[in-house]
Amino acid sequence: MLEAIKKRRSVRSYLDKDVSDEDISALVESARLAPSANNMQPTRFIIVRSPETKAALVAVDHDQQWMMQAPVIIVAVADPSGWADRPLGSYEQGAPADEQTPGLYLKYIIRDAAIAIENLLLEAEDRGLSTCWTGWFSQADVRPLLAIPADKYVCGIITVGYSESHPQPRPRKDLAEILMYETWAE
């Protein structure tokens, strides 16, 4: 497992080579099996291949033109509906979920979507595919492009494709900086 985790990179350059529907299904399958609070499974995946839609997404995702090289863009969306009637995560149904929205339910579904998306990235790596999870957009800009209702939260726009590029690993904090024993320590 650690080998796959070590190998994964955020890749921003893709070959002109399509990704099969079978591969895409396997990626979403890996995300489908992810754990979630109360097994609520809030994450949805929109597979985008249309050049027009890709261009529109890229334009609002800080115009990162390299994204257009990827044959597939996956938009991961968290749906809070399951929390509407729960005391802990309750919220006003239909209320817009935006960058500054408070509410525990939103923290829950963002967390659960992240778990699912990480599965998807690792499964892609395992299949010889490259990905990049991007997030340089605002909810208000992305939602109308895909007719996503205002109460859903877009958690990532993920490029998927083949690449010959394998960037150097990014620097990471030393283990000692993130690992503590028995109590918090600065």
**Are 134 and 160 contacting, i.e. CB atoms less than 8 angstroms apart?**
no
Near a copy of itself by CB under 8 A: residue from 57, 58, 155, 158: 155
Near a copy of itself by CB under 8 A: residue from 152, 158, 161, 163: 152
CB of 134 to a copy of itself, least distance (A): 10
Q: Does 30 bind a copy of itself (CB under 8 A)?
A: yes
Q: Does 53 bind a copy of itself (CB under 8 A)?
A: yes
- Give 59 or 114: the residue with its C-beta nearer to a copy of itself: 114
List CB contacts of 77: < 8 A, sequence separation 6 or more. Answer: 43, 44, 45, 46, 113, 148, 152, 153, 154, 155
> How far is residue 126's CA from residue 135's CA, in Å, rounded to a whole number?
23
Grouping H, G, I as helix, E, B as strand and the rest as coil, residue 4 is helix
153: number of Cβ within 10 Å? 24
Closest to 121 (Cα-Cα) out of 160, 157, 153? 160
**Are 51 and 123 contacting, i.e. CB atoms less than 8 angstroms apart?**
no
Near a copy of itself by CB under 8 A: residue from 14, 19, 43, 159: 43
Binders in 59-78 for a copy of itself, by CB under 8 A: 77
> How far is residue 120's CA from residue 131's CA, in Å, rounded to a whole number?
9
CB of 55 to a copy of itself, least distance (A): 13
DSSP letter at 170?
Answer: P
Binders in 83-112 for a copy of itself, by CB under 8 A: 99-104, 106-107, 110-112
Near a copy of itself by CB under 8 A: residue from 37, 58, 70, 157: 37
Binders in 6-25 for a copy of itself, by CB under 8 A: 6, 8, 10, 25
CA 127 to each of CA 4, 122, 165: distance values in angstroms, whole numbers, following the listed order? 10, 9, 15
Near a copy of itself by CB under 8 A: residue from 11, 70, 148, 158: 148
- At position 26, the amino acid (one-letter code) is A
- Give 69 or 118: the residue with its C-beta nearer to a copy of itself: 118
CB of 84 to a copy of itself, least distance (A): 15
